[in-house]
């Protein structure tokens, strides 16, 4: 049976994450080995030539699933008919820039993109925001798209989730495949809280298996939370292939579901669960079935976790207030 291609829009397509992402989307890793895709690349005018070069390389791969590539600097064109949107392009923080300036500059990107999604995307649109500050950029785009169900706007914390899996695997010696139910709570920032109290390593409670509070507080949590900065320090550029990989994982799991007995972490609009104020786009443990996610309910949150979740959520609330103050919500 011939399937209709899925339209996948990628913003910031000429950037370093874009370069690591597009080939994997075109080869079937995003949606599945039997799902044809059409790529819609959005760039700013200065990025168009490089995006065209990437498109030439995509052509040269002769990917059987790739049914077309369109390139534009107009969000209204790039999001037309989009089924999946990966919002990667963002304004990076530069020297001397205050947080308010950064939020304002990103408002200038994510507000018009949200409006273009509202006006032109397909009814089943799923949006993943990767560009930082990802959670609040997702909130800005969502606010500009009142006709799109709000749960379709998500922010990426899957890279943090994957980083936490890897660190826990190194500590316990168990392969990543034997670790389940890890959670990233809060913001994709240094305040995020990677939680192993409900995680399992080879079927045993992870916190009990580790049994090392000092490692948890002084090594694991800061290593995961500050990994982005450590990569920048080491590479001289922010994470790209691992970020692209996490974006693939995020959408693949959103479309295909979580495994039985496991969950994943996604930045999603809060429904008030776990004391996270309603509407904030915060990371939660989620299970996914038939393309719809649900927050895992009923987890007992100990004092150690509560304090850290609250700190990250406070930061998200402050970011929301700041963009409200800028008239972006
Ligand atoms: N959530 C996460 O886990 C995570 C991880 C890594 C990086 N990031 C973020 O992802 C973003 C992209 O990273 P990168 O390394 O690819 O950056 P990059 O600078 O290499 O590429 C960004 C691209 O976006 C383009 N761009 C800028 N404004 C645009 C707009 N309005 N429309 C379309 N394109 C636009 C630029 O021209 C550039 O080509 C950054 O904000 C980075 O901080 C997030
Ligand atoms: O781009 C950054 O500031 C870091 C990035 O969000 C990461 O977690 O690697």
Annotated active-site positions, please?
Answer: 188
Query: Measured from the CA of 159, which atom of ligand 2 is nearest?
Result: 8
The pLDDT value recorded for residue 160 is 98
Instruction: Collect contacts of 171-179 with beta carbons under 8 A, ≥24 apart.
Output: 171/210, 171/212, 171/215, 171/220, 172/201, 172/206, 172/209, 172/210, 174/201, 174/202, 178/202, 178/203, 179/206
Query: Measured from the CA of 109, which atom of ligand 1 is nearest?
Result: 31
Q: Could you give the percent of the chain with pLDDT greater than 90?
A: 95
Query: Measured from the CA of 239, which atom of ligand 2 is nearest?
Result: 9
Q: CA 182, CA 198: separation in Å to the nearest integer? A: 7
Task: Name the β-bridge partners of 232.
Answer: none
Q: In what order do the strands lie in the sheet with 179-180?
A: 179-180, 200-201, 204-205
pLDDT in tens, 25-74: 999 999 999 999 999 999 999 999 999 999 999 999 999 999 999 999 99
Ligand 1 within 6 A of 14 CB? yes
Ligand 1 within 6 A of 12 CB? yes
Furthest-apart CA atoms within the chain: distance in Å: 56
Task: State if pTM tops 0.90.
Answer: yes
Kindly give the distance from the C-alpha atom of residue 3 to the centroid of ligand 2, in angstroms, as a whole number: 36
pLDDT in tens, 247-278: 999 999 999 999 999 999 999 999 999 999 99
For 127, other C-beta atoms within 10 Å of its C-beta total 25
From the annotation, which residues make up the binding site? 12-18, 93, 99, 106, 113, 130-132, 163
Domains of the chain: 6-155 (3.40.50.720), 157-321 (3.90.110.10)
The pLDDT value recorded for residue 1 is 52
- Please name which ligand lies nearest the alpha carbon of 15: 1
In this prediction, does ipTM exceed 0.85?
A: yes
Sign of CA pseudo-dihedral 38, 249, 114, 126: positive
Please compute Rg for the chain using Cα positions: 19
Kindly give the distance from the C-alpha atom of residue 229 to the centroid of ligand 2, in angstroms, as a whole number: 7
Which residues have C-beta atoms less than 6 Å from ligand 2?
132, 159, 228, 231, 238-239, 243
Kindly give the distance from the C-alpha atom of residue 238 to the centroid of ligand 2, in angstroms, as a whole number: 6
pLDDT in tens, 171-195: 999 999 999 999 999 999 999 999 9
Residue nearest to atom 1 of ligand 2 (CA): 238
Residue nearest to atom 5 of ligand 1 (CA): 243
- Please name which ligand lies nearest the alpha carbon of 48: 1
Query: Measured from the CA of 93, which atom of ligand 2 is nearest?
Result: 3
CA neighbor of 284 nearest in space, from 314, 271, 302, 225: 271
Kindly give the distance from the C-alpha atom of residue 65 to the centroid of ligand 1, in angstroms, as a whole number: 25
Residue nearest to atom 29 of ligand 1 (CA): 89
Cα 320 to Cα 22, 71, 277, distances in angstroms: 31, 32, 11
1's CB contacts (< 8 A; 6+ apart) are none
Q: Length of the chain, please?
A: 329
CA neighbor of 246 nearest in space, from 162, 184, 164: 162
Kindly give the distance from the C-alpha atom of residue 294 to the centroid of ligand 1, in angstroms, as a whole number: 28
For 41, other C-beta atoms within 10 Å of its C-beta total 26
pLDDT in tens, 142-164: 999 999 999 999 999 999 999 99
- Please name which ligand lies nearest the alpha carbon of 72: 1
């Amino acid at each position: 049976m011939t399937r209709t291609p899925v339209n996948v829009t990628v913003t910031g397509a000429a950037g370093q994450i874009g370069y690591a992402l597009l080939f994997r989307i075109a080869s079937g890793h995003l949606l599945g080995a039997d799902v044809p895709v059409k790529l819609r690349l959005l760039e700013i005018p200065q990025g168009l030539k490089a995006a065209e070069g990437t498109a030439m390389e995509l052509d040269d791969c002769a990917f059987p699933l790739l049914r077309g590539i369109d390139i534009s600097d107009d969000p209204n064109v790039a999001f037309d008919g989009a089924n999946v949107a990966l919002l990667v392009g963002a304004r990076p923080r530069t020297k001397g820039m205050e947080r308010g300036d950064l939020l304002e500059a990103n408002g200038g990107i994510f507000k018009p993109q949200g409006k273009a999604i509202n006006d032109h995307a397909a009814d089943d649109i799923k949006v993943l925001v990767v560009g930082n500050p990802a959670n609040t950029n997702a909130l800005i785009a969502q606010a500009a798209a009142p006709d799109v169900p709000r749960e379709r706007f998500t922010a990426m914390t899957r890279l943090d989730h994957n980083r936490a899996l890897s660190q826990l695997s190194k500590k316990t010696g168990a392969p990543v495949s034997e670790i389940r139910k890890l959670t990233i709570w809060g913001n994709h920032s240094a305040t995020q809280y990677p939680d192993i109290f409900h995680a399992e390593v080879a079927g045993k409670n992870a916190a009990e298996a580790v049994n090392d509070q000092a490692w948890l507080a002084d090594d694991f949590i800061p290593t995961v939370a500050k990994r982005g900065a450590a990569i920048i320090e080491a590479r001289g550029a922010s994470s790209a292939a691992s970020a692209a990989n996490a974006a693939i994982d995020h959408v693949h799991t959103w479309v295909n579901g979580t495994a039985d007995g496991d969950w994943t972490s996604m930045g999603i609009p809060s429904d008030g669960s776990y004391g996270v104020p309603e509407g904030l786009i915060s990371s939660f443990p989620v299970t996914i079935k038939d393309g719809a996610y649900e927050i895992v309910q009923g987890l007992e949150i100990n004092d150690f976790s509560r304090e850290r979740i609250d700190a990250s959520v406070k930061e998200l609330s402050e970011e929301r207030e700041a963009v409200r103050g800028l008239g972006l919500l």
